[in-house]
Structure 1
Amino acid sequence: MNQTNHVTWQNFKNTLLQHPDLHLQFQYTAENLVDASYHITEIKQAPIVSVDCGGVMNSWTEIIVQLWEPELNTGKEAMLVSKAWSIIAVVEKVLPLNPLGIVKIEFGNSQFDTRQMDPGAFLVSENNLIVNLSPDLVQCKAMERGGSCGTSHKGEECCASVAEVKPQKIKMPLINMDANSCALGSGCC
Structure 2
Amino acid sequence: MNSIIKTDLADSDITLGDLLSCIARSPDLPLIFTYVGREIKGGYHVTEVKAGQFSALDCGANPEAWSEIFVQLWDIDEDGRSHMPGGKFAAIIRKVSEHVGLDGSAKLTFEVSDGVGPIQLFRASSPARVDNSLIVALAPRPSSCKPRDKWLAEQSPAASCCRPSTAAACCA
Shift of 1:67: 0.7
Percent sequence identity is: 27
Corresponding residue SS for 2:28: coil
In structure 2, the residue matched to 1:84 is 89
Distance in 2 between residues matched to 1:5 and 1:129, nearest whole Å: 17
Q: Deviation per CA, 1:37-74: give whole Å up to 9, x if none.
A: 0111111102121101111000111111111134x543
Shift of 1:144: 2.4
Pair 1:63–1:47, CA change in 2 (3 A): same
Distance in 2 between residues matched to 1:60 and 1:84, nearest whole Å: 24
Q: Deviation per CA, 1:161-185: give whole Å up to 9, x if none.
A: xxxxxxxxxxxxxxxxxxxxxxxxx
Shift of 1:121: 4.2
State the superposition RMSD in angstroms.
Answer: 2.0
Contact (CA 8 Å) 2:69, 2:107: kept in 1 or not?
yes
Q: Does 1:118 pair with 2:123?
A: yes
Unmatched 5+ stretches in structure 2: 1-10, 153-172
Which is bigger in relative contact order (C-alpha 8 A, separation at least 6)? 2
In structure 2, the residue matched to 1:141 is 146
Shift of 1:125: 1.7
In structure 1, the residue matched to 2:74 is 68
Contact (CA 8 Å) 2:125, 2:136: kept in 1 or not?
yes
How many residue pairs get aligned? The number is 142
Name which of 41, 51, 55 aligns with 2:47.
41
Unmatched 5+ stretches in structure 1: 148-189
Shift of 1:7: 0.7
Shift of 1:20: 0.4
Distance in 2 between residues matched to 1:110 and 1:43, nearest whole Å: 16
In structure 1, the residue matched to 2:164 is none
Q: Which structure: larger Rg?
A: 1
Name which of 52, 55, 58 aligns with 2:58.
52
In structure 2, the residue matched to 1:109 is 114
